[in-house]
Structure 1
Amino acid sequence: MFILVNLKTYPCDPVAVAEAVRDVDESTDARIGVAPQATHLERVAETGAETWAQHVDPIEYGSNTGHTLAESVADAGAVGTLINHSEHRLKLADIDGAVRAASRTDLETVVCANNPAQVGAAAALGPDAVAVEPPELIGTGTPVSQADPEVVEGAVGAAASVDIDVSVLCGAGISTGDDVVSARDLGSEGVLLASGVAKADDPRTALEDLVDPL
Protein backbone atom coordinates (compact mmCIF):
# COMPACT_ATOMS: atom_id res chain seq x y z
CA MET A 1 0.00 0.00 0.00
CA PHE A 2 1.07 3.55 -0.79
CA ILE A 3 0.37 6.13 1.92
CA LEU A 4 0.71 9.72 0.72
CA VAL A 5 0.51 12.43 3.37
CA ASN A 6 -0.56 15.86 2.10
CA LEU A 7 0.56 18.61 4.48
CA LYS A 8 -1.61 21.23 2.74
CA THR A 9 -0.92 24.58 4.45
CA TYR A 10 -1.35 23.20 7.96
CA PRO A 11 0.84 24.84 10.65
CA CYS A 12 3.02 21.78 11.13
CA ASP A 13 6.80 21.34 10.97
CA PRO A 14 7.30 19.84 7.50
CA VAL A 15 10.78 18.59 8.28
CA ALA A 16 9.66 16.84 11.48
CA VAL A 17 6.80 15.16 9.62
CA ALA A 18 9.16 14.19 6.81
CA GLU A 19 11.59 12.63 9.27
CA ALA A 20 8.73 10.62 10.75
CA VAL A 21 7.70 9.53 7.24
CA ARG A 22 11.26 8.47 6.47
CA ASP A 23 11.69 6.50 9.69
CA VAL A 24 8.35 4.69 9.53
CA ASP A 25 8.81 3.98 5.82
CA GLU A 26 12.05 2.18 6.63
CA SER A 27 10.29 -0.06 9.17
CA THR A 28 7.35 -1.23 7.05
CA ASP A 29 6.57 -2.85 3.73
CA ALA A 30 4.20 0.01 2.97
CA ARG A 31 5.43 2.88 0.81
CA ILE A 32 5.04 6.32 2.44
CA GLY A 33 5.43 9.75 0.85
CA VAL A 34 4.84 13.32 1.98
CA ALA A 35 3.63 16.36 0.03
CA PRO A 36 4.70 19.67 1.63
CA GLN A 37 4.14 23.19 0.38
CA ALA A 38 6.25 24.12 -2.65
CA THR A 39 8.55 26.35 -0.60
CA HIS A 40 9.41 23.41 1.67
CA LEU A 41 10.11 20.81 -1.02
CA GLU A 42 13.89 21.01 -0.90
CA ARG A 43 14.11 20.92 2.90
CA VAL A 44 11.77 17.95 3.04
CA ALA A 45 13.60 16.07 0.28
CA GLU A 46 16.88 16.52 2.15
CA THR A 47 15.51 14.37 5.00
CA GLY A 48 15.45 11.37 2.69
CA ALA A 49 11.65 11.05 2.83
CA GLU A 50 9.85 10.35 -0.43
CA THR A 51 8.79 13.85 -1.41
CA TRP A 52 5.81 14.88 -3.53
CA ALA A 53 4.59 18.26 -4.74
CA GLN A 54 1.04 19.33 -4.01
CA HIS A 55 0.60 20.71 -7.54
CA VAL A 56 2.29 21.51 -10.84
CA ASP A 57 0.93 23.78 -13.55
CA PRO A 58 0.48 22.90 -17.23
CA ILE A 59 3.32 25.18 -18.31
CA GLU A 60 6.82 25.10 -19.77
CA TYR A 61 9.79 27.40 -19.15
CA GLY A 62 8.81 30.99 -19.94
CA SER A 63 6.67 33.89 -18.78
CA ASN A 64 4.58 32.21 -16.10
CA THR A 65 4.75 34.38 -12.99
CA GLY A 66 3.25 32.75 -9.91
CA HIS A 67 2.97 29.28 -11.43
CA THR A 68 4.66 26.02 -10.39
CA LEU A 69 6.98 24.52 -13.01
CA ALA A 70 7.40 20.75 -13.04
CA GLU A 71 11.13 21.04 -13.67
CA SER A 72 11.56 23.21 -10.58
CA VAL A 73 9.64 20.72 -8.47
CA ALA A 74 11.85 17.89 -9.70
CA ASP A 75 15.02 19.94 -9.14
CA ALA A 76 13.90 20.51 -5.54
CA GLY A 77 13.87 16.75 -4.98
CA ALA A 78 10.25 15.75 -5.55
CA VAL A 79 9.55 12.39 -7.19
CA GLY A 80 5.86 12.97 -7.84
CA THR A 81 2.99 15.43 -7.71
CA LEU A 82 -0.68 15.65 -6.89
CA ILE A 83 -2.87 17.18 -9.59
CA ASN A 84 -6.43 18.51 -9.36
CA HIS A 85 -6.87 18.20 -5.61
CA SER A 86 -10.38 19.26 -4.57
CA GLU A 87 -8.82 22.37 -3.02
CA HIS A 88 -7.04 23.22 -6.29
CA ARG A 89 -9.38 22.23 -9.09
CA LEU A 90 -8.33 22.35 -12.74
CA LYS A 91 -10.18 22.14 -16.04
CA LEU A 92 -9.79 18.82 -17.83
CA ALA A 93 -7.48 20.33 -20.44
CA ASP A 94 -5.26 21.73 -17.69
CA ILE A 95 -5.19 18.37 -15.89
CA ASP A 96 -3.99 16.85 -19.15
CA GLY A 97 -1.35 19.56 -19.48
CA ALA A 98 -0.17 19.10 -15.91
CA VAL A 99 0.15 15.33 -16.39
CA ARG A 100 2.20 15.97 -19.52
CA ALA A 101 4.35 18.54 -17.72
CA ALA A 102 5.06 16.05 -14.93
CA SER A 103 5.89 13.38 -17.48
CA ARG A 104 8.60 15.61 -18.98
CA THR A 105 10.54 15.36 -15.73
CA ASP A 106 9.60 11.78 -14.79
CA LEU A 107 7.45 12.91 -11.87
CA GLU A 108 4.85 10.36 -10.80
CA THR A 109 1.31 11.68 -10.92
CA VAL A 110 -1.76 11.21 -8.75
CA VAL A 111 -4.81 12.94 -10.21
CA CYS A 112 -7.59 13.56 -7.69
CA ALA A 113 -11.25 13.09 -8.60
CA ASN A 114 -14.58 13.42 -6.79
CA ASN A 115 -16.36 10.30 -8.00
CA PRO A 116 -16.02 7.22 -10.23
CA ALA A 117 -17.09 9.09 -13.38
CA GLN A 118 -14.33 11.66 -12.86
CA VAL A 119 -11.90 8.85 -12.05
CA GLY A 120 -12.58 7.33 -15.47
CA ALA A 121 -12.01 10.67 -17.20
CA ALA A 122 -8.79 11.25 -15.26
CA ALA A 123 -7.50 7.74 -15.96
CA ALA A 124 -7.87 8.39 -19.69
CA LEU A 125 -5.21 11.11 -19.38
CA GLY A 126 -2.54 8.56 -18.46
CA PRO A 127 -1.50 9.43 -14.89
CA ASP A 128 0.22 6.87 -12.70
CA ALA A 129 -2.70 6.89 -10.27
CA VAL A 130 -6.01 8.51 -9.49
CA ALA A 131 -7.33 9.28 -6.01
CA VAL A 132 -11.06 9.27 -5.36
CA GLU A 133 -11.95 11.88 -2.74
CA PRO A 134 -15.55 12.99 -2.15
CA PRO A 135 -15.01 16.63 -1.05
CA GLU A 136 -17.69 16.49 1.63
CA LEU A 137 -15.68 13.88 3.56
CA ILE A 138 -12.27 15.59 3.44
CA GLY A 139 -11.06 16.43 6.94
CA THR A 140 -14.08 14.87 8.63
CA GLY A 141 -12.41 11.77 10.02
CA THR A 142 -15.09 9.67 8.32
CA PRO A 143 -13.43 7.67 5.55
CA VAL A 144 -15.14 7.18 2.21
CA SER A 145 -14.46 3.45 2.57
CA GLN A 146 -16.87 3.51 5.53
CA ALA A 147 -19.31 6.23 4.48
CA ASP A 148 -19.77 5.03 0.90
CA PRO A 149 -17.69 1.97 -0.01
CA GLU A 150 -19.41 1.76 -3.40
CA VAL A 151 -17.58 4.95 -4.39
CA VAL A 152 -14.23 3.23 -3.92
CA GLU A 153 -15.33 0.06 -5.69
CA GLY A 154 -16.78 2.16 -8.51
CA ALA A 155 -13.57 4.14 -8.83
CA VAL A 156 -11.50 0.96 -9.05
CA GLY A 157 -13.80 -0.37 -11.75
CA ALA A 158 -13.86 2.93 -13.65
CA ALA A 159 -10.07 3.17 -13.77
CA ALA A 160 -9.66 -0.48 -14.79
CA SER A 161 -12.15 -0.07 -17.62
CA VAL A 162 -10.01 2.73 -19.07
CA ASP A 163 -6.43 1.72 -18.25
CA ILE A 164 -5.51 -1.23 -16.03
CA ASP A 165 -2.10 0.32 -15.37
CA VAL A 166 -3.61 3.31 -13.52
CA SER A 167 -3.67 2.66 -9.77
CA VAL A 168 -6.48 3.88 -7.54
CA LEU A 169 -5.93 5.56 -4.19
CA CYS A 170 -8.62 6.24 -1.62
CA GLY A 171 -8.79 9.64 0.04
CA ALA A 172 -11.02 11.74 2.30
CA GLY A 173 -11.35 11.04 6.01
CA ILE A 174 -8.55 8.47 6.27
CA SER A 175 -7.09 8.55 9.78
CA THR A 176 -6.58 5.00 11.13
CA GLY A 177 -4.98 1.73 10.19
CA ASP A 178 -8.44 0.18 9.91
CA ASP A 179 -9.28 2.82 7.29
CA VAL A 180 -6.21 1.81 5.29
CA VAL A 181 -7.13 -1.88 5.49
CA SER A 182 -10.71 -1.13 4.43
CA ALA A 183 -9.44 0.85 1.45
CA ARG A 184 -7.19 -2.05 0.46
CA ASP A 185 -10.01 -4.57 0.80
CA LEU A 186 -12.13 -2.47 -1.58
CA GLY A 187 -9.42 -2.63 -4.23
CA SER A 188 -7.47 0.54 -3.53
CA GLU A 189 -3.67 0.38 -3.84
CA GLY A 190 -3.07 3.24 -1.47
CA VAL A 191 -4.51 6.14 0.50
CA LEU A 192 -4.22 9.91 0.42
CA LEU A 193 -4.60 11.68 3.74
CA ALA A 194 -3.71 14.93 5.44
CA SER A 195 -4.98 16.00 8.86
CA GLY A 196 -4.63 12.53 10.41
CA VAL A 197 -0.85 13.00 10.29
CA ALA A 198 -0.23 16.69 9.64
CA LYS A 199 -2.34 17.76 12.63
CA ALA A 200 -1.30 14.91 14.93
CA ASP A 201 0.54 15.71 18.15
CA ASP A 202 2.98 12.92 17.27
CA PRO A 203 3.16 12.31 13.49
CA ARG A 204 5.37 9.26 13.91
CA THR A 205 2.87 7.52 16.17
CA ALA A 206 0.06 8.44 13.78
CA LEU A 207 2.00 6.89 10.88
CA GLU A 208 2.82 3.79 12.87
CA ASP A 209 -0.86 3.34 13.67
CA LEU A 210 -1.67 3.61 9.96
CA VAL A 211 0.75 0.90 8.86
CA ASP A 212 0.53 -1.41 11.87
CA PRO A 213 -2.46 -3.46 10.59
CA LEU A 214 -0.70 -4.00 7.28
Structure 2
Amino acid sequence: MFILVNLKAYPCDPIEVATAARDVAEESGVRIAVSPQAADISRVADTGVETWAQHVDPNDYGSHTGSTLAEAVAEAGAVGTLINHSENRLKLADIDGSIQAAERAGLETCVCGNNPGQIGAVAALGPDSVAVEPPELIGGDVSVATADPGIVTDAVDSAANVDEDVDVYCGAGISTGDDVVTAEELGASGILLASGVAKADDPRAALEDLVSGL
Protein backbone atom coordinates (compact mmCIF):
# COMPACT_ATOMS: atom_id res chain seq x y z
CA MET A 1 0.00 0.00 0.00
CA PHE A 2 1.03 3.56 -0.77
CA ILE A 3 0.10 6.32 1.68
CA LEU A 4 0.01 9.82 0.17
CA VAL A 5 -0.46 12.63 2.70
CA ASN A 6 -1.84 15.85 1.20
CA LEU A 7 -1.12 18.83 3.46
CA LYS A 8 -3.44 21.09 1.44
CA ALA A 9 -3.14 24.63 2.87
CA TYR A 10 -3.55 23.50 6.46
CA PRO A 11 -1.66 25.43 9.17
CA CYS A 12 0.57 22.47 10.02
CA ASP A 13 4.34 22.24 10.20
CA PRO A 14 5.29 20.56 6.90
CA ILE A 15 8.73 19.62 8.18
CA GLU A 16 7.31 17.92 11.27
CA VAL A 17 4.93 15.89 9.11
CA ALA A 18 7.62 15.12 6.54
CA THR A 19 10.09 13.95 9.17
CA ALA A 20 7.47 11.77 10.81
CA ALA A 21 6.47 10.29 7.45
CA ARG A 22 10.09 9.59 6.55
CA ASP A 23 10.76 7.84 9.85
CA VAL A 24 7.57 5.77 9.84
CA ALA A 25 8.20 4.74 6.23
CA GLU A 26 11.73 3.60 7.07
CA GLU A 27 10.63 1.72 10.17
CA SER A 28 7.57 0.04 8.67
CA GLY A 29 8.72 -0.52 5.10
CA VAL A 30 5.49 1.10 3.87
CA ARG A 31 5.76 3.64 1.06
CA ILE A 32 4.69 7.05 2.39
CA ALA A 33 4.81 10.40 0.58
CA VAL A 34 3.95 13.96 1.56
CA SER A 35 2.37 16.57 -0.72
CA PRO A 36 2.99 20.09 0.66
CA GLN A 37 2.29 23.55 -0.66
CA ALA A 38 4.45 24.38 -3.69
CA ALA A 39 6.52 26.84 -1.66
CA ASP A 40 7.46 24.06 0.78
CA ILE A 41 8.40 21.34 -1.72
CA SER A 42 12.13 21.95 -1.51
CA ARG A 43 12.20 22.00 2.31
CA VAL A 44 10.08 18.88 2.55
CA ALA A 45 12.17 17.04 -0.05
CA ASP A 46 15.31 17.92 1.92
CA THR A 47 14.05 15.75 4.82
CA GLY A 48 14.40 12.70 2.60
CA VAL A 49 10.70 11.85 2.49
CA GLU A 50 9.11 11.06 -0.87
CA THR A 51 7.65 14.39 -1.95
CA TRP A 52 4.75 15.15 -4.29
CA ALA A 53 3.31 18.39 -5.65
CA GLN A 54 -0.36 19.16 -5.08
CA HIS A 55 -0.86 20.28 -8.69
CA VAL A 56 0.91 21.10 -11.93
CA ASP A 57 -0.50 23.18 -14.77
CA PRO A 58 -0.79 22.02 -18.39
CA ASN A 59 1.80 24.40 -19.75
CA ASP A 60 5.46 24.43 -20.73
CA TYR A 61 8.01 27.19 -20.09
CA GLY A 62 6.84 30.62 -21.21
CA SER A 63 4.53 33.49 -20.35
CA HIS A 64 2.36 31.74 -17.78
CA THR A 65 2.39 33.96 -14.68
CA GLY A 66 0.92 32.24 -11.65
CA SER A 67 1.16 28.74 -13.08
CA THR A 68 2.77 25.76 -11.39
CA LEU A 69 5.35 24.48 -13.84
CA ALA A 70 5.99 20.73 -13.74
CA GLU A 71 9.71 21.21 -14.28
CA ALA A 72 9.87 23.67 -11.39
CA VAL A 73 8.36 21.28 -8.84
CA ALA A 74 10.59 18.47 -10.13
CA GLU A 75 13.67 20.63 -9.73
CA ALA A 76 12.51 21.49 -6.20
CA GLY A 77 12.52 17.80 -5.31
CA ALA A 78 9.03 16.49 -6.10
CA VAL A 79 8.82 13.06 -7.72
CA GLY A 80 5.07 13.01 -8.30
CA THR A 81 2.00 15.20 -8.44
CA LEU A 82 -1.70 15.17 -7.74
CA ILE A 83 -3.93 16.35 -10.59
CA ASN A 84 -7.61 17.33 -10.55
CA HIS A 85 -8.14 17.17 -6.79
CA SER A 86 -11.75 17.86 -5.81
CA GLU A 87 -10.65 21.27 -4.51
CA ASN A 88 -8.85 22.13 -7.76
CA ARG A 89 -10.97 20.74 -10.58
CA LEU A 90 -9.77 20.82 -14.19
CA LYS A 91 -11.43 20.28 -17.55
CA LEU A 92 -10.66 16.93 -19.16
CA ALA A 93 -8.39 18.55 -21.76
CA ASP A 94 -6.42 20.29 -19.01
CA ILE A 95 -6.12 17.05 -17.04
CA ASP A 96 -4.61 15.50 -20.14
CA GLY A 97 -2.28 18.48 -20.54
CA SER A 98 -1.19 18.31 -16.90
CA ILE A 99 -0.46 14.59 -17.21
CA GLN A 100 1.66 15.27 -20.26
CA ALA A 101 3.47 18.13 -18.49
CA ALA A 102 4.17 15.89 -15.49
CA GLU A 103 5.47 13.08 -17.70
CA ARG A 104 7.69 15.57 -19.53
CA ALA A 105 9.24 16.50 -16.18
CA GLY A 106 9.55 12.88 -15.01
CA LEU A 107 6.83 13.14 -12.36
CA GLU A 108 4.57 10.29 -11.30
CA THR A 109 0.89 11.18 -11.64
CA CYS A 110 -2.23 10.58 -9.56
CA VAL A 111 -5.47 11.94 -11.02
CA CYS A 112 -8.45 12.33 -8.71
CA GLY A 113 -12.07 11.61 -9.59
CA ASN A 114 -15.38 11.93 -7.75
CA ASN A 115 -16.89 8.60 -8.76
CA PRO A 116 -16.21 5.39 -10.71
CA GLY A 117 -17.39 6.95 -13.97
CA GLN A 118 -14.88 9.78 -13.67
CA ILE A 119 -12.19 7.30 -12.66
CA GLY A 120 -12.69 5.41 -15.90
CA ALA A 121 -12.54 8.64 -17.92
CA VAL A 122 -9.30 9.88 -16.38
CA ALA A 123 -7.71 6.41 -16.41
CA ALA A 124 -8.06 6.54 -20.20
CA LEU A 125 -5.65 9.51 -20.21
CA GLY A 126 -2.80 7.29 -19.04
CA PRO A 127 -1.85 8.48 -15.54
CA ASP A 128 0.17 6.26 -13.22
CA SER A 129 -2.68 6.15 -10.72
CA VAL A 130 -6.14 7.49 -9.96
CA ALA A 131 -7.81 8.29 -6.64
CA VAL A 132 -11.54 8.04 -6.03
CA GLU A 133 -12.73 10.75 -3.62
CA PRO A 134 -16.44 11.51 -3.16
CA PRO A 135 -16.43 15.25 -2.28
CA GLU A 136 -19.05 14.90 0.45
CA LEU A 137 -16.73 12.66 2.48
CA ILE A 138 -13.53 14.69 2.11
CA GLY A 139 -12.35 15.99 5.48
CA GLY A 140 -15.01 14.02 7.32
CA ASP A 141 -14.85 11.39 10.05
CA VAL A 142 -16.17 8.50 7.95
CA SER A 143 -14.00 6.97 5.23
CA VAL A 144 -15.32 6.19 1.77
CA ALA A 145 -14.22 2.58 2.32
CA THR A 146 -16.69 2.35 5.20
CA ALA A 147 -19.47 4.70 4.06
CA ASP A 148 -19.77 3.31 0.53
CA PRO A 149 -17.38 0.45 -0.22
CA GLY A 150 -19.08 -0.08 -3.58
CA ILE A 151 -17.58 3.18 -4.82
CA VAL A 152 -14.09 1.78 -4.20
CA THR A 153 -14.70 -1.61 -5.82
CA ASP A 154 -16.49 -0.01 -8.75
CA ALA A 155 -13.62 2.46 -9.20
CA VAL A 156 -11.12 -0.40 -9.20
CA ASP A 157 -13.17 -2.21 -11.84
CA SER A 158 -13.68 0.96 -13.87
CA ALA A 159 -9.95 1.66 -14.05
CA ALA A 160 -9.10 -1.98 -14.80
CA ASN A 161 -11.57 -2.05 -17.68
CA VAL A 162 -9.66 0.85 -19.26
CA ASP A 163 -6.05 0.12 -18.27
CA GLU A 164 -5.00 -2.59 -15.83
CA ASP A 165 -1.68 -0.83 -15.24
CA VAL A 166 -3.33 2.20 -13.59
CA ASP A 167 -3.27 1.92 -9.79
CA VAL A 168 -6.35 2.94 -7.82
CA TYR A 169 -6.11 4.83 -4.55
CA CYS A 170 -8.87 5.40 -2.03
CA GLY A 171 -9.43 8.87 -0.60
CA ALA A 172 -11.95 10.86 1.48
CA GLY A 173 -12.24 10.38 5.21
CA ILE A 174 -9.36 7.91 5.59
CA SER A 175 -7.85 8.39 9.04
CA THR A 176 -7.15 5.06 10.77
CA GLY A 177 -5.27 1.84 10.25
CA ASP A 178 -8.61 0.02 9.95
CA ASP A 179 -9.56 2.34 7.07
CA VAL A 180 -6.31 1.46 5.29
CA VAL A 181 -6.85 -2.27 5.71
CA THR A 182 -10.44 -1.97 4.47
CA ALA A 183 -9.31 0.02 1.42
CA GLU A 184 -6.75 -2.67 0.63
CA GLU A 185 -9.35 -5.42 0.99
CA LEU A 186 -11.58 -3.55 -1.48
CA GLY A 187 -8.82 -3.59 -4.08
CA ALA A 188 -7.15 -0.21 -3.61
CA SER A 189 -3.37 -0.16 -3.85
CA GLY A 190 -2.97 3.08 -1.94
CA ILE A 191 -4.72 5.78 0.03
CA LEU A 192 -4.86 9.56 -0.24
CA LEU A 193 -5.56 11.48 2.94
CA ALA A 194 -5.06 14.91 4.45
CA SER A 195 -6.67 15.98 7.73
CA GLY A 196 -6.09 12.62 9.42
CA VAL A 197 -2.38 13.45 9.52
CA ALA A 198 -2.09 17.18 8.77
CA LYS A 199 -4.53 18.10 11.55
CA ALA A 200 -3.36 15.47 14.02
CA ASP A 201 -1.91 16.60 17.36
CA ASP A 202 0.78 13.95 16.85
CA PRO A 203 1.41 13.29 13.12
CA ARG A 204 3.85 10.47 13.84
CA ALA A 205 1.31 8.62 16.00
CA ALA A 206 -1.33 9.09 13.28
CA LEU A 207 1.02 7.66 10.66
CA GLU A 208 2.01 4.74 12.89
CA ASP A 209 -1.68 3.91 13.28
CA LEU A 210 -2.21 4.07 9.50
CA VAL A 211 0.49 1.45 8.84
CA SER A 212 -0.31 -0.70 11.89
CA GLY A 213 -2.38 -3.24 10.00
CA LEU A 214 -0.15 -3.58 6.96
Q: Deviations over 1:61-92 (max 9, x none)?
A: 00000000000000000000000000000000
Residue type at the aligned position of 1:181: V
For 2:30, the equivalent position in structure 1 comes to 30
In 2: Cα distance, 1:204 partner to 1:144 partner: 23
Post-superposition CA distance 1:188-212 (Å, at most 9, x none)? 0000000000000110000000001
**2:140 alignment counterpart:** 140
Runs of 4+ in 1 over 2 A off after TM superposition: none
The CA distance in 2 between the partners of 1:64 and 1:21, in whole Å, is 33
Q: What residue number does 1:158 align with?
A: 158
- SS of residue in 2 equivalent to 1:111: strand
Q: TM-score, normalised by structure 2?
A: 0.99
Match of 1:208 in 2: 208
**CA deviation string 1:28-77 (max 9, x = no partner):** 13210000000000000000000000000000000000000000000000
Aligned equivalents of 2:104 and 2:15: distance in 1? 28
Identity of aligned residues (%): 71
Q: Where does 1:48-197 land on structure 2 (aligned, <5 Å)?
A: 48-197=48-197
Number of the residue aligned with 1:11: 11
5+ residue gaps, structure 1, are none
| 1:150-181, Cα deviation, whole Å (9 max, x unpaired) | 00000000000000000000000000000000
1:117 deviates by 0.3
Unaligned residue ranges in structure 2 (runs of 5+): none
Give me the whole-angstrom Cα distance separating, in 2, the residues matched to 1:87 and 1:149. Answer: 22
Please, what is the CA RMSD of the aligned residues? 0.4
Q: Distance in 2 between matches of 1:24 and 1:152?
A: 26
Alignment partners' CA distance in 2, 1:21 and 1:140: 22
Query: What is the alpha-carbon distance in structure 2 between the residues aligned to residue 116 and residue 155 of structure 1?
Result: 4
Residues 1:47 and 2:40 aligned together? no
Q: Hey, what's the Cα distance between the residues in 1 that align with 2:106 and 2:69?
A: 13
